[in-house]
Chain A
């Protein structure tokens, strides 16, 4: 592994700028292409994509079946694909079993449906503690679960990137797919929140 001591002597902003200059000069990075990638992930790719997937699964039983059988393929049906979109496995939350997602090694995250991971997901305290005491951490994050609800912590990796299919809240029977998508939050798809009826 490369020694990182030198990177700590100069401000990381300068090191990043230096690397960008070198890669650009050597023709390895086209700044216009790079700006497009950054802009896409800042504005166009985010949890609203995942929310559409969940709302469709709630309203279309056949889609739900395909989604639970092959997450990546069913998600690609809606046009969401790209880096970190391989091997997405969708797992259903129920009253009996609550799944919550973490990546203990490097904060793997399904970008095409959730965008880039939030800072708390990447925080070592979240990564370590959710595995050890999920009920306590979930409560700190606002999810109080009944004692008889089983909690399963799903560890994402390069082979499996988990996405939670949250429970559809009661009282939303008359809502359209589009209205339902508006209720689904990123946190619910990671399993650190529940979806509430409006």
Chain B
């Protein structure tokens, strides 16, 4: 049960002693954040819809990891965005998986050859 796990004292989830920590732990987290805010801003969904999906994703993660573990807030965030977009009929998780597979097949160093 995560409820009895102590707070990390080091590492990315550690309670801070100053305000100087990074907002995003990895570049993809900032992209996932930006995508949700941008699509929302364009009027594709209500923020409350996204929030409900995020609550559901976090609850599902907690049910699947009763002993705690490597929680990823922005992993849940991305899954919530995917589900809201799928419900709106805009993009399915198949579309995303297919495109991700294409991206995975790129040769090594594809983004460093210029």
Contact = CB atoms under 8 A, between A and B. Distances in A.
A2 B83 contact: yes
A140 B6 CA distance: 9
A99 interface: no
A126 interface: yes
Interface in B61-113: 62, 68, 71-73, 75, 78-79, 81-83, 85-87, 90-91, 93, 95-97, 99-104
Contact of A122 (B27, B30, B73): B73
Describe A's contact surface by its main secondary structure. Answer: helix
A119 B73 contact: yes
A49 interface: no
Given A2-B82, A120-B16, A158-B48, A22 B30 contact: no
A69 interface: no
Interface size class on chain A is 35 or more
Contacts of B33: 38, 41, 116
A93 interface: no
Contact of B16 (A28, A83, A187): A187
A169 interface: no
Interface size class on chain B is 35 or more
Contact of B38 (A29, A116, A123): A29
Nearest to B97: A6
B50 to A, nearest CB: 10
B7 A22 contact: no
A12 interface: yes
A20 B13 CA distance: 26
Given A37-B34, A124-B68, A158-B48, A10 B101 contact: yes
Interface of A: 1-4, 6-7, 9-23, 26, 28-30, 33-35, 37-38, 41-42, 46-47, 83-84, 105-108, 115-116, 118-120, 122-126, 128-129, 132, 137, 140-142, 158, 185-187, 192
7 contacts: A16-B35, A18-B100, A47-B19, A83-B37, A83-B40, A125-B3, A192-B15
> Which 10 residue pairs across A and B have the least CB separation, nearest first?
A18-B99, A2-B83, A128-B3, A18-B100, A123-B13, A122-B73, A38-B34, A34-B38, A124-B2, A34-B34
Given A1-B53, A23-B85, A120-B7, 5 more contacts: A7-B97, A14-B100, A18-B99, A34-B35, A124-B68
Interface of B: 2-8, 12-19, 21, 23-28, 30-35, 37-42, 44, 47-48, 51, 53-60, 62, 68, 71-73, 75, 78-79, 81-83, 85-87, 90-91, 93, 95-97, 99-104
